[in-house]
Structure 1
Amino acid sequence: MKAKQTIRAIFSNAIAWIISAICLIPLLLIIFNSVKDKLAASDMNLKLPDFPLAWENFTTVIEKGKLMTSFLNSLTYSVGSVFLCVIFASLAAYVLSRNASKLNGILYMFLVLGITMPINYVALTKVMVFLHLNNTKLGIILLYTAMQLPFSVFLLHGFVARIPTDLDEAAVIDGCGPARLFFTIIMPLLKPALATVVVLTFLNTWNEFVSPLYFLSSSEKWPMPLSVYNFFGMYYKDWNLVCADILLTSLPVIIVYLLGQKYIVSGMTAGAVKG
């Protein structure tokens, strides 16, 4: 019996290693070709780059691809949407969880349906134009916030349900107002779930491609995924530069994910008991 379990564990680990190696092939392909010269990178293979490495590819990409401008744009959109999403989602989750009325139940289901409902870009374009938010940074931040709110409310709602209502009652008896009750007592208790919302919202916002393509006509306001798209159109034959551009664009996402992966797991399971 023990031998069978050992063989099963070895087989499972071998399968996991094989799948992981297959998933790493595109990343290794980009890393290797980003430090090759134009001729060596044209084959797009997994052959190790020759020394000296072509570090000048990254300098060329930053200068010609306007990467610093698009980086600041992506950072602005991501940080802005994370801030608004954390505030609005936590407030909505708290109110809908604590006031379990029929109307609030309908509102909660209406919000959660946003997770599965597709985006109607035709109607959304008319709304953005009517509100004068088309081709504006504020409009993109609000759009990203609205796109991330359904899942954020769903995640936080289950977490708020685990916080005892006795805390609310004790704070009210001590003379605590609604705003102070939420921001000084409830919100600190939501840190695991809020960390998950921050990481997921940041990653989803940073990687979003379609929405800025539709609603940002000025290239000066484009985020990094669109800068890669634009750069590829100009240098589609220079695979060394294209790979360097993709690597620089993906690097912030990889760093944020590596730093926040433990919060994603803990936050996703924290509200699984109730909700």
Structure 2
Amino acid sequence: MVRQARSVRRPGRRRFPVVKELLMWLLALLILIPLFLVAINSLKTEAEADLMNLELPKQFMFDNYANVIKTGKMVQAYRNSLIISAGSTLVTSLFSAMGAFVLSRRRTKLNRLIYYYFIIGLIAPVNFIATIKVMQMTQLFNTFHGIILLYSALMIPFTVFLFYGFIQSVPKELDESAMMDGCRSLQLFFRIIFPLLLPVTITCVLINFMNAWNEFILPLYVFNKSDYYPVTLAVYSFYGTFISSWNLVCATIVLTTLPIVLVYIFGQRYLISGMTAGAVKG
């Protein structure tokens, strides 16, 4: 009788994973279909792209990409986005790791207050008028290092939050033994602690790089010269010029999203593991 009851319950248990899997596929299609629509229309002629459907093109127009790269200044936009994204990611990850290490190891009331100040930065809105005014007064407006510092200031609170939770899992005995061996503070951090932070560091690098690459509003306010435009503003400017050529517009969107999609695909494993480790160990 027990075996029969178990055999009756098994089919019911098997249905739920199938239903969940189908639900996940339906949710994935909500993202994949628009991506496929943009990709397939980027290879059509202007007349075919105006229909904006999922039909395959009669002739694949790979020249659309060459035209976009030439007329849309995409090479320059890629260079600008790489400078901004890599620079802000490097500054954010380095200083956030150092700051989180100090806040985690020295549990004073002042450091606790500073940590809460960073947490407030996760939810505090950006005052664009005051920010732009300060950047103009400090000669940071319309410069690469200005927007790198701005991105870093916005991304540091979340990055400190991730590093702080992960560093708490690192035993303090490592600090004590290293100090007994003659390590100074910077040597202790870079030689002993920082290599142990590799999972959460990769997570922070991926998140911050993708956020900086996809940012549109801040460059729109900070830059008033097209020579400094990142890829997001290059697409915006190209769309204003070639609004009737949807095949070329779709080609610019593909060129803009392709690098970040590749970064996410190859770094997805590290992204999930780092987020989980930081949450559990914190």
Question: Structures share a fold, TM > 0.5?
Answer: yes
Match of 1:42 in 2: 50
Could you list the structure 1 runs, at least 4 aligned residues long, displaced by more than 6 angstroms after superposition. none
Whichever residue aligns with residue 35 of structure 1, its letter is L
Match of 1:106 in 2: 113
Please show how residues 136-147 of structure 1 align to structure 2 within 5 Å.
136-147=143-154
Deviation at 1:219, TM superposition (A): 0.7
What is the TM-score when the length of structure 2 is the normalising length?
Answer: 0.96
Deviation at 1:182, TM superposition (A): 0.4
Deviation at 1:274, TM superposition (A): 4.3
Q: Which moved more, 1:16-25 or 1:128-137?
A: 16-25
Deviation at 1:112, TM superposition (A): 1.5
Whichever residue aligns with residue 34 of structure 1, its letter is S
Whichever residue aligns with residue 267 of structure 2, its letter is G
Could you say what secondary structure the match of 1:115 adopts?
Answer: coil
- Please list the CA deviations of residues 122-157 of structure 1 after superposition, one character each: whole Å capped at 9, or x if unmatched: 110111011110000110111111111010000000
Whether 1:271 aligns to 2:252 is no
Distance 2:41 2:155 in 1: 34
**Identical counterparts, % of pairs:** 44
Match of 2:38 among 23, 30, 53: 30
Aligned length: 274
Whether 1:251 aligns to 2:258 is yes
Match of 2:215 in 1: 208
Whichever residue aligns with residue 101 of structure 2, its letter is Y
Distance 1:109 1:244 in 2: 44
Whichever residue aligns with residue 106 of structure 1, its letter is L
Deviation at 1:19, TM superposition (A): 1.5
Distance 1:100 1:108 in 2: 10
Whether 1:175 aligns to 2:182 is yes
Larger radius of gyration: 2
Whichever residue aligns with residue 99 of structure 2, its letter is A
Whether 1:192 aligns to 2:185 is no
Distance 1:79 1:93 in 2: 21
- Please list the CA deviations of residues 189-230 of structure 1 after superposition, one character each: whole Å capped at 9, or x if unmatched: 000000000000100000000000001111100100000000
Distance 2:276 2:29 in 1: 28
